[in-house]
Amino acid sequence: MKYSLGNKIRELRLHKQLTQEQLAQLCKVSSAAISKWEHDLSYPDITLLPILARIFHVSTDELLNFESEPSEDEIVEMAKKALEMYQSVPFEEAFAYTKELLYTYPNSELLKLRIASNTMYVMMFGGEKNGAVYQTFAKELCEELINSTSDPIKEGAVIFLVDFYMIEEKYDKAEQLLESFPKHFDPISMLPSIYLMQKDYVKANKLLQEQLYQHYHAICMNIMSLATIARNTHKKEEIKAYLDLLKALQTIFHMEEDISFMPITEGYYEDKQEALYYVKRYVDMLLHWDEMAKRKEALLKQTLWFQEIALDKNSLPTIMGKEQLLQLLDDKDLDYLREEEEFQALYKKIQNS
């Protein structure tokens, strides 16, 4: 697959419907010289490259294959073919094909990443010795790609590199790589695997509980957003289903005290008594944040899967101001409660506080 300038010249000559003799006349060389070029027995003088490019109506870059970068689909197919070769031909032949791909397209970062992504399969098909050779090769590609200006390429390279370092039992190096990566890349999803392989169960347990806690809240917020969509599109049955799911999730995780997202969504039932109950609890929580935080922290310590969670006590102010509370109660989603005596009494209580 090594790039052949001779093949390119022949391809372009035939496309222009020129004979070797006609091309020779245009370039002021012999027909024998053209034949040697096309068989890669010799190469045109560098001064002839612009002339050849003009004759064929292409750029010199295209003539030399410098701008012929493969598309994403082509890269997928090339990487797939390479992988199939590791299953059907000797390792050396497949490995040579892989390296020729990179020689032909030296600037394609996506191709390099795709080739690196084949590593685990090559290790499976090629045996321990050949697998180690390929892993070293792929690791070098990824060490180059972590300097990419493309975030997806960089992140993919980091993920593979961490895997390679873990296979080599270079856990410190894997951890350093994750921790040095930009903040938008979340290492928490991979660090527990490193700690588990090191049998550092204390660190792994803490990180996994923190991850579970974050995902729990993310799922709750997603369900609440889905309930909001259902309400805005007037799908009452879906609203109820989402809120039932939310309550079930709280029960499963022993998080019944966690009502910070409940006051408005409870109103979607149009069950005013239940909604008022949650609104009052929500206001009480904001008025007594310190006590609520202590109760919640105690509850977490009693819950097996959240025992390692330390609450961020700065996530809400210690004291919620009157104006802020009234602003919360002025939310249009609570309009259907405004005529209720309990709601009006609560509103006045805050106004007069």
**In the predicted model, what is the mean pLDDT of residues 77-82?**
90
pLDDT score for 264? 52
pLDDT at 134: 94
Among residues 243, 319, 242, the alpha carbon closest in space to that of 287 is found at: 319
CA 337 to chain CA centroid, Å, is 43
Using alpha carbons, select from 159, 89, 177, 152 the residue that is nearest to residue 117. Answer: 159
pLDDT at position 32 is 92
For residue 211, the 8-state DSSP code is H
| Mean pLDDT across 85-108 | 88
pLDDT band at 3 (very low <50, low <70, confident <90, very high): low
Higher pLDDT, 109 or 265: 109
Residue 293 has pLDDT above 50, yes or no: yes
Alpha helix ranges (H) inside 89-198: 91-104, 109-117, 119-145, 151-167, 171-180, 191-197
Contact 158, 178 (CB under 8 A): yes
pLDDT at 186 (0 to 100): 61
The model carries a pTM of 0.54
Lowest-pLDDT choice from 183-192, 210-219, 228-237, 273-282: 183-192
Look up residue 282 and give its two tokens: 């929500």
pLDDT at 325 over 80: no
CA gap 247, 249 in Å, rounded: 5
- Written as one string, the DSSP assignment of 74-94 is HHHHHHHHHHHHHHHS-HHHH
Q: How far is CA 140 from CA 50, 99, 160, in A?
A: 36, 13, 11
* Burial of residue 88, with CB atoms counted within 10 A of its CB: 0-12 exposed, 13-18 middle, 19 or more buried: exposed
Residue 299 near residue 290, CB atoms below 8 Å: no
In this structure, what token pair is assigned to residue 176?
A: 């350093």
Measure the CA–CA gap between 164 and 139, rounded to whole angstroms. Answer: 7
Determine the pLDDT at residue 317: 43
